[in-house]
Amino acid sequence: MTEPSVLHDTKTAYDAVATLYAELFGDVLKIKPMERALLTTFAELVQRHNAGPVADIGCGPGHVTAHMNALGPNTFGIDLSSEMVALARHAYPDVRFDEGSMTALDIADGVLGGILALYSVIHTPPGQLPVVFTEFQRVLAPGGYLLLGFFAGDDRLPQEFDHKVTAAYRWSPDSLADLLRQAGFVEVARLLREPHEGERFLQAHLLVRKEP
């Protein structure tokens, strides 16, 4: 499947479920203390480095974007789905939200202090992930941070699974860390936790940094 068709299918699928998705997951951080702690750490690191704003790429209905913005860093959201962006703008009118693709960001080189990509690369075909990570490298300032969230698998190769919205992949944290390393990122920390009730898979986060 080509990149344009993947982007089109993903956008169409999330446009169709945007309202339901916001209802189901808009308050999800309230029951995820580990993720909240990691976001707080990320915010502190970005502010300490003072390298620029944070982009929440694949922001969905905007709840994480607004949470990060409240923690201090100037944060804006980007999503492929126009319906998600519309919901986010309505729910959080004081926060900026834009439509866009993570494979071709409308952001100048080296201007971001941080990138959040929480479960937003899971729909990217494995062969296209290096393109995404190169784009993240391009827009991050030297020393900027990237926090990546994904569903963990136990195989060195990515594993496709039956995501309820559209095709998606689980990754071994080591395999994804290798791809990030090849793209020029340095690992800072990782979080791997057991699934909560209603979750099917291990939840993983990788915190990496662009070389200063």
The predicted model gives 158-182 an average pLDDT of: 92
Q: Would you say residue 3 has pLDDT above 60?
A: no
Per the model's pLDDT, the better-predicted residue between 61 and 25 turns out to be 61
pLDDT of residue 47: 96
Count of C-beta atoms within a 10 Å radius of residue 28? 12
- Indicate if the pLDDT at residue 4 is higher than 80: no
Q: What count of residues does the chain have? A: 212
Query: Residue 157 pLDDT > 50, yes or no?
Result: yes
With residues binned 3-state (H G I as helix, E B as strand, rest as coil), the percentages for the chain, rounded to 5, are 40, 25, 30
CA-to-CA dists, residue 151 to 44, 60, 158, 161, angstroms: 25, 17, 10, 10
Q: What is the DSSP string of 91-115?
A: H-TTS-EEE-BTTB-S--TT-EEEE
Q: What is the assigned CATH class of domain 3-210?
A: alpha beta
Residue 87: pLDDT band (50, 70, 90) is very high
Tell me which amino acid residue 121 is: V
Segments making up each domain of the chain, as ranges: 3-210
pLDDT at 150 over 50: yes
For the chain, counts of helices (H) and of strands (E): 6, 9
